[in-house]
Structure 1
Amino acid sequence: MSQTTKKALAQSLKKLMNTTSLAKITVNNIVNDCGVNRRTFYYHFQDIYALLEWIFKNEVAAVMAENKTYETWQQGFLRIFFYLSENRKMVLNTYNSIGRDQLETHLYSAVYNLVLDVVDEITEGMEVSEKEKEFVVNFYKVALVGLLLEWIRTSMTENPEQIVDNLNKLISGDTYKALLKCKVC
């Protein structure tokens, strides 16, 4: 029941964000739309930003669940673009509000996990220190999230498939090469 209630509250917030700026949405708006009382909301979430954080944490991670390998990372990254695009009004509303930190935090987290899985796969059997792996993961995390944030900043107009295709042309094989260089450092 708890997950069902959280999902219902999330759907209400997302629905409201399609027409109202985040700063103008109240807990009362959410609970009235959802059909629960304020106590129920506060039983699950500290405030609206905690609900927003829960949405991004659960939904962004879920969209890439199957695509976190060296061969499929591009699909996982593309699925993040698709999720953001499908939730365009909510994402732009969040990006242009105080809630932007929640969006950025969860994009960084999701992309970090994606890149970490790829790097772990590549380095299997290689002698690369955790510190060197961490550096490579963080480098790609910042680059990839930077692309996502720039795409959001420019109103999500560029074709996500083209962005990922260009990215793949640019860095194809470079992660492996970087890790090989670290091996000899």
Structure 2
Amino acid sequence: MKKQECRERTQRQLAEALEFYLQKKPLEKITVRELIEKVGINRKTFYYYFPDIYGLLEWMVTQESQRLIFEIQNQEDYENSLALVFDSIEKNRHFVNCVYDSMGRDALVRFLNKDFRKVISWAMEKGMEDVLKRNGGKITETSNPLGIEQKFLDTLVDSYIASIAQILLLYLQKKSPFNKQECIRFILRYLQSTIPAALEEFAK
């Protein structure tokens, strides 16, 4: 077996072992010894791949995010992409809550950042088209036809990601007044009603 294939297999097995124990107890009570015994490797091998269990968890978050981004890119529009993100998070609710409980809100936002950045950027492009149509402008191939400074666009995207992350966090903690479909509808209406106005303001 090639070295890269061996590495990926071992990392995947360790991730599966961690997922197994996360169903039974909190992350802080899981030991490296338990993981390596379940996978059948020695301690040295574990530390060759990861600095600690938190490093393994971070790797798992990155892998899931990359998988989700790949799927998002195959969607036809940002509405479907948003639903896809919610479906994935709903499916992995326990794992996502473990990330929040073990690594804090910032880690969860970093996880969501990659997933939602594509969705929000997509919504921004649609918002620019709406602004141009409303003002009789011509839609071009450029990703920024309104000529807004990139720092303003980046800050807008970051602010929307933070807002959506908060909505999602409340949903995951079962503190939201909305069910999943209502959350999705709320976010879509929020994006559709505010993005064009914000873009129009910054384009002045």
User: Does 1:67 pair with 2:72?
Assistant: yes
More moved, 63-72 vs 46-55: 63-72
The 8 Å contact of residues 115 and 141 in structure 1, kept in 2 or not, is answered as: yes
Q: Mind listing any 5+ residue stretches in structure 1 that lack a counterpart? A: none
Structure 1 CA distance for aligned equivalents of residues 59 and 53 of structure 2: 10
Q: Which residue in 2 is equivalent to 1:45?
A: 50
Structure 1 CA distance for aligned equivalents of residues 164 and 76 of structure 2: 17
Partner amino acid, structure 1, of 2:63: N
Post-superposition offset of 1:178: 1.7
Alignment RMSD (CA, Å): 2.7
Q: Which residue in 1 is equivalent to 2:137?
A: none
Q: Which residue in 2 is equivalent to 1:177?
A: 197
Post-superposition offset of 1:139: 1.4
The 8 Å contact of residues 62 and 111 in structure 2, kept in 1 or not, is answered as: yes
Q: Which residue in 2 is equivalent to 1:141?
A: 161
Secondary structure, in 3 states, of the residue corresponding to 1:97?
helix
More moved, 20-29 vs 161-170: 161-170
Structure 2 CA distance for aligned equivalents of residues 93 and 78 of structure 1: 22
Q: Which residue in 1 is equivalent to 2:186?
A: 166
Q: TM-score, normalised by structure 1?
A: 0.84
Q: Which residue in 2 is equivalent to 1:90?
A: 95
Q: Which residue in 2 is equivalent to 1:152?
A: 172
Q: Mind listing any 5+ residue stretches in structure 2 that lack a counterpart? A: 129-142
Post-superposition Cα deviations, 1:113-163, rounded to whole Å, max 9, x if no partner, equal: 432354367443221111111121111111111111111222789532221
User: Does 1:57 pair with 2:57?
Assistant: no
The 8 Å contact of residues 77 and 122 in structure 2, kept in 1 or not, is answered as: no
Q: Which residue in 1 is equivalent to 2:136?
A: none
More moved, 120-129 vs 44-53: 120-129
Partner amino acid, structure 2, of 1:92: N
Q: TM-score, normalised by structure 2?
A: 0.77
Q: In structure 2, do the counterparts of structure 1 residues 183 and 151 end up closer, same or farther at CA, with 3 Å as the change threshold?
A: same
Partner amino acid, structure 2, of 1:72: D
More moved, 102-111 vs 63-72: 63-72
Partner amino acid, structure 2, of 1:47: D
Q: How many percent of aligned residue pairs carry the same amino acid?
A: 25
Indicate the structure (1 or 2) with the bigger Cα radius of gyration. 2
